[in-house]
Amino acid sequence: MISLADVQAARDRIAGVVRRTPLEYSHSFSEETGAEVYLKLENRQRTGAFKIRGAMNRIATLDEAARAAGVVTASAGNHAQGVALAASRAGVDATIVMPEHAPVSKVRATERYGGRVVLSGEDYDAAQARAHEIEAAEGRTYVHAFDDPDVVAGQGTIGLEILEDCPDLDTVVVAVGGGGLISGIATAIKSQRPDVRVVGVEAAGSAKLAASLRKGEPHVIDRVDTIADGIATRRVGDLTYPMIEEHVDEVVTVTDDQIALALVTLLDRTKTLAEGAGAVPLAAVLSGAFDYRPDEAIVPVISGGNVDLNALTTVIVRGLVETGRYLRIRTVLEDRPGALLGLAGVIAERDANISAIHHDRTSRDVALDDAEVEIDIETKGPEHVEELLAALREAGYEVEVLA
């Protein structure tokens, strides 16, 4: 268990490299929720995420022999970049094992920061196993992504900044992967302000902490499946779990659709880009995953912004669907001149814009004299979607909503 003194010592060690990130009041989210919402923007941190804090603190504590031997770690992306930069700044050789399907943008960024990347395994846990093999074979120091006291203390420096910048804080909301971030923040805050509520948020497709708390010990889930790849671990740490038990007041989950909606809303209203894991706390606030009172001062920690561009396209489309601003439909037309024009005319009359059409006359799912049509449509909100669908059906089209 780390202490407030450990977190304060970490702040002194990392001060020359790590940025103090802004805490910004959000008029938009405050108006929507009725709470006083402040965003802790760790997506503006060096390397684009909070992980540099813990990595820098851990590497700063290495003795000379360990520095000479180098370090190794496993990461889905953000910890990889943090370790690579921290090691490079300290003159320490770093090998980082990443899952085989890690986002290309995160792999390349890690290499640019000076790390040697090894791709291995389907997920974080498999990559970690390979990293430990390298640790044993090469005598390197393993820098754990979350289950290390120096790493946790480094992440806890975020909590110090939040309390200093928001002295009237009521609730802090933090995403949970392995538990290093929330353990550090909760320790820093609860040691000074035990009245502040700490809410942990998991992606529903990686909800190991909720299961662990029910069992009373860290629980390993069989698989993870979430767009929030930064928190897609199968278990919380042995070190972090008891700290979470002691300091965290509540743990909730959010769905991928809620995460996508939060990411798109954050981008739309504040022009702030977050990755899936970074949007998880805001998703919990916007979806009402936990109760809060009017005017409660809430700080969601936007932990990172390193989203892969290919993944971003998918997430944005999902978020637009959730807000009623994007619709994909399927219907069947008679294969004759003007049939497609008639369908497009109904859509245009309802002031909706077609962004893509796929017209298939050879589909085996329809009759020989019919054609299958899929259309992507830009819409203006849920009511507009319902009006458009009603108009299409009234015009005689059998419409299937695909997204």
Tell which residue, 143, 140, 189, 184, has the closest CA to residue 299.
189
Q: Which helix (H) or strand (E) holds 57?
A: helix 51-60
What are the two backbone dihedrals, phi and then psi, of residue 175, each rounded to the nearest 5 degrees?
-70, 150
Residue 183, number of CB atoms within 10 A of its CB? 35
Could you give the CA distance from residue 202 to residue 208 in angstroms, rounded to a whole number?
8
Could you give the CA distance from residue 108 to residue 114 in angstroms, rounded to a whole number?
10
Instruction: Copy the structure tokens of residue 148.
Output: 């290390």
What are the two backbone dihedrals, phi and then psi, of residue 100, each rounded to the nearest 5 degrees?
-60, -30
Would you please indicate which residues are annotated as catalytic (active-site) residues?
A: 51, 303
Could you give the CA distance from residue 57 to residue 46 in angstroms, rounded to a whole number?
14
Q: Any bridge partners for residue 250, and if so which?
A: 199
Residue 333: half-sphere exposure toward Cβ, Cα within 13 Å: 23
> SS in 3 state form for 344-357?
HHHHHHCCCEEEEE
Pairing status of strand 36-41 against strand 297-302: parallel
Residue 19: half-sphere exposure toward Cβ, Cα within 13 Å: 15
Could you give the CA distance from residue 130 to residue 121 in angstroms, rounded to a whole number?
8
Alpha helices per DSSP H over 139-179: 149-165
Burial class, 140, CB count within 10 angstroms (exposed 0-12 / middle 13-18 / buried 19+) = buried
